[in-house]
Structure 1
Amino acid sequence: MTRIRYVEPCGRARDVEVDQGLSVMEGAILNMVPGIEAECGGACVCATCHVYVDEAYGSTLCPPNATEHEMLDTVASERRPTSRLSCQIKVVAALDGLTVYLPERQT
């Protein structure tokens, strides 16, 4: 299990243990973390699982592929250099302690 911290726009943080191999989005959905809508179920076609990744983990993640990069142009909240779609972040041991910040809105 890998610990992921989800921080809501109000600042409330929630630590969740997520099985390796799942996505950060799946970890949120399985643990009923508010703020991740995931309308497409993780198919990278809706951008409703947008998060801001803590800068400390930016180099640990694989960079966004072309599809994710394109979908990030459609996010409802501000796109930042740390923006990612949580459906595209696979949980691995190296991400233990990862913090993601949820945007104000997904749609």
Structure 2
Amino acid sequence: MNLRQLLALPGHMLGKRPLPPTESQMGVQARVIAHLEKYGVIDALTAQRMGTTDPRKMFTRLRRQGYLYRADNPRGHFNVPNHSGRGDHRVHYWTGKRPGERRAVKRGGVK
């Protein structure tokens, strides 16, 4: 094997571990879940900036999967005033569930 062939081999063939997937390679929902794990909260504007066109629909799906608390649960969210000073927006708490984790009862409260 010459040097050109050695340099052309991917890193995992040289005995190195493969690189973890970058943020841009993950799906939008996976980025939202990663944000929830890191910060514990998320709002609609943050989810929209990650690439979704309908953050409320994504939050509904995340509630069904158990990542967010039910919409009628007062402990599942809090309101924050808007930067304009008029109105407020909702910030949602993470339930603590991680991807791939299975539970007997979903923490989001959805059956």
Give the TM-score category using the shorter length: under 0.3
Task: Determine which structure has greater relative contact order: mean sequence separation of CA pairs < 8 Å that are 6+ residues apart, divided by chain length.
Answer: 1
TM (norm. structure 2) is: 0.27
Q: TM-score of the superposition, structure 1-length normalised?
A: 0.28
Instruction: Identify the structure with the greater helix proportion.
Output: 2
Determine which structure has more spread, i.e. the larger CA radius of gyration.
2
Higher strand share: 1
